[in-house]
Amino acid sequence: MIDLFNYERRKSTVTHVGVLDIGGDNPVRVQSMTTTSTDDTQASVEQSERIIDAGGELVRLTTQGKKEAENLRDISARLRADGYKTPLCADVHFNANVADVAALYAEKVRINPGNYVDPGRTFKVLEYTDEEYACELQRIEDRLLPFINICKEHHTAVRVGVNHGSLSDRIMSRYGDTPEGIVESCMEFLRIFKKYEFGDIVISIKASNTVVMVRSVRLLIAEMEKEGMHYPLHLGVTEAGEGEDGRIKSAVGIGALLSDGIGDTIRVSLSEDPECEIPVAAYLTRYIRRRQGHLLIPAEAGKDFDYLRPERRQTVAVGNIGGENVPVVIATQNKANQPVMVSSADMPNPDYIYVNDTLPKQLVKGQKYILDYNAYIELATKGELPEDNVYPIFPTPAIPLIGTVRSEMKFLVLKYGTPSEEFLTCLKYHPEVVVVCTSNHQNKLGEQRALVHQMMTAGVRNPVVFAQMYQHSSADGQRKSSPITTKEAFQLEAAADVGALMMDGLTDGLWLMNDGDLSADDIEQTAFGILQAGRLRMVKTEYISCPGCGRTLYDLRTTIARIKEATKGMKGLKIGIMGCIVNGPGEMADADYGYVGAGRNKISLYRKKVCVERNIPEEDAVEHLLALIKSDRATQSEG
C-alpha cells in the first residue's frame, strides 16, 4: 500500500470543486476558513479575499442555519464581482436541512457524520441489536439521499469531515473511542455515496491528538482500498493552537502523512487570522514536494512492523535512552564554546550536550556530555576524564575502536548504506551503544526508516536517536522576501521530518542541528516541542485551542493570551480552549480541562469530557478555571 522508503503520491480520484480540481495529479491544495459571521457579507468577503490573496485556493465559511447558508449566494456574488473565482465551502453541523440549502450556493459542502443525523456525542451508552443498528444506517441513507441528489444537480462537491471529538453515541457504543470507530463513522457515509454513484468527495479525519489523527487516516486508507475507494484526502490537526506550538503540532501531524504521499489538500488550523494559515500550509507542501524523484532506497520493512497500528520499537535501555524512557533531546555546543542551556523557565535543559572535541572548563552539575571519541580516549589516557556524565561518540570508520573504549554508554553515528555486517555485529556485541541515525538523502525519512528496519530485521535492539541537520539563516536572500521566518522554516521542516518517525514508534531521541544563526535556545525548544506534539514527552502546558469561526462566542485570541499567562509553568497540563461546542464535548476528552463558549460571552468549564460549571460570565471565567485546577490539585495532593 504505502512504500515506507520511497516517496510517491498516493493515487486518488479527482474531485471537482468549482474551478478547482483536488486529487489525482493536481498539486496539494491549501485552504483556510473565515472567522467572520456568515451573516456579515462585507466582513466575510473582505476576509475571504485576504485568504485568497495570501494564496488560499478554497475558502470555508460556517453555516449554522439556513440564513447563513442562503447568504453564501450574496458572498459568492460579491467575490465574483471582484474578480475572484475561488470556490467556497459551507461548513455544516447538526442540521442536515442546512446542508441541503448550502449545496445550492456553495461549490462544496462539509458535513460531519458524527452529527449529520445522529445528535453527536453526549456520552450515552446505547445498545443496539444488529437489526436495530442496520435500521439506523438506513435512516442515515434515507436522509442523505436528497442531499446527494441536490449535489448532483448543482455539481456541488462534498467533504465528509469526521472529527474525533464529535463521534456519535451510536459509533462510540459499538466501536469505542478508537481509530477504528473514527474510520467506521466515515465509511458508513462513503458507502452510501458510492452506492448512489456520487464521486465528487473529499474526506477528512481530524483530531487534536496527532497520534489519533495519523493512525486514523492510515487506517482509513487501508479500509477504502479494501472497498475500491480512492477519494482525495483533506489533512489537518484540529485545535492545533497558535504561534510556534500550533505550527509545530500541525507540521508533525500533516507532515507525517504528506511524507508518505498522503494528502490532496490541507488546512493548518491556527488560532490566528486565517490568512496567516496559508503561508504555513504552502511552505509545508513545497518542502515535502522536494522529495519527488529521489534516488531509490532499496529497503525492506521489518517483519514485525505494523504501519496501521504501530507500537514503540522494543529496545534495551542504555542509561536513560531507550527502553521505557521518554525520548531524549541532544543539543550541540555553540561556536563560542559556551554551555548550551535552555533559558525558558518552563522548559527542561537538553539531556545531552555534544561538545565536539573539547569539554567545557566548568561542567554543569548533573549535565551529560557527548565528546568526540579521540578526545575522549586522550583524556582517559591522561587520567583527566571526569568520572561520569561524559560519553564518547564514534563515526562509522571508528567502529573497530568501540570495543577498546570503556564507557557505560557510547554513541555511534550511522547512515543507511553502511556495510551491514560490520555495524550489525558491533551493535549485537555492544548493547551499550546508542545509534545516532543521520541522513543527507533527498528523502531522509525513507533512509532513516530503512536503517532502523534493517536493525529490526537483524534483531538488534540498540536505541536510536534521529539527528537532523538544517541550514537556515536570516541572511538568506530568499528568506527576506518570504512570509515564513527563518525560525518558522526550521520548525516546520524539522517537525515534518520527524513526524512519521515518531508515529512509527521508532524515536528514542532527537538531535536537531542548524548551520545558520538560529539560537541554541530556539533549536532545543523546537526539539522538545516536536516530542510534545507527537505525544512522546510532555514538558510544558499544552493548549488545544480552536482557530475560531463564525460560531465563536467570545474573544478567542485575547482569552488564549489570558489563559496562557495564568497557567504557564503547569507542566504537562492540557487545556482545551474552544470558541463553541460544535466539535463536541469529546474534544475535551483529550484535555485535562476545557474552556468552551456556551453562549454570547458565556463560558462553560469541563473536567475532561464532563461539564462542571455552566454559563459563567466571560470576564470571570479564567479565574473560575484557575480555581478549578487549584482545587483538583489540592485534592490530589491530599490523596
Q: Please state the residue numbers annotated as binding site for [4Fe-4S] cluster.
A: 546, 549, 580, 587
Q: Point out the annotated binding site.
A: 546, 549, 580, 587
Find cell 482557530 and name the residue: 547
Residue 372 pairs in a beta bridge with 393
DSSP state of 348: P
Do residues 57 and 86 lie in contact, with contact meaning Cβ atoms separated by under 8 Å?
yes
Measured CA angle at 513 (ends 300, 4), to 5 deg: 15
Give the whole-angstrom CA distance, residue 593 versus residue 606: 5
Q: Which strands make up the sheet holding 574-578, listed edge to edge?
A: 542-545, 574-578, 593-599, 602-607, 610-617
Q: How far apart are CA 183 and CA 306, in angstroms?
A: 18
- The answer to whether 560 and 528 are in contact (CB under 8 A) is no
What distance in Å separates the CA atoms of residue 568 and residue 549, rounded to the nearest whole number? 26
Nine-digit cell string for 28: 496539494
How many other CB atoms are found less than 10 A from the CB of residue 572?
Answer: 12
DSSP string, 247-307: HHHHHHHHHHHHTTT--SEE----SS-GGGHHHHHHHHHHHHHTTTTPPP------TT--S
Residues 291 and 307 sit within 8 Å (Cβ to Cβ): no
Report angle CA 129, 131, 132 to the nearest 5 degrees: 65
Q: How far is CA 131 from CA 137, 346, 352, 424, in A?
A: 10, 54, 59, 56
Tell the residue number behind the cell numbers 486565517, with chain if given.
274
One DSSP character per residue, 579-602 reads SSSTT-GGGGGGSSEEEEEEETTE
- Lookup: cell for 379: 583524556
3-state DSSP call for residue 521?
helix
Closest listed residue to residue 123, CA positions, set 168, 188, 190: 168
Among the listed residues 280, 75, 80, 78, the one whose alpha carbon sits nearest the alpha carbon of residue 89 = 75
- Rounded CA gap, 511 and 559, in Å? 35
What's the chain's length in residues?
639
CA 624 from centroid of its chain's CA atoms: 30
Please state, as a whole number, how many other Cβ atoms lie within 10 Å of the Cβ of residue 41. Answer: 17
- Cβ atoms of 309 and 463 within 8 Å: the answer is no
Cβ(331)–Cβ(340) below 8 Å? yes
Number of separate helices (H) and strands (E) present in the chain: 17, 23
Cβ-count burial of 387 within 10 angstroms (0-12 exposed, 13-18 middle, 19+ buried)? exposed
Q: Nearest to residue 22, comparing CAs of 218, 257, 201, 207?
A: 201
User: Nearest 5°: phi and psi at 274?
Assistant: -60, -30
Candidates 40, 145, 58, 149; CA nearest to 106 is: 58
Amino acid sitting at position 275: E
For residue 607, the cross-strand partners are 593, 610
Q: Are 272 and 244 in contact (CB under 8 A)?
A: no
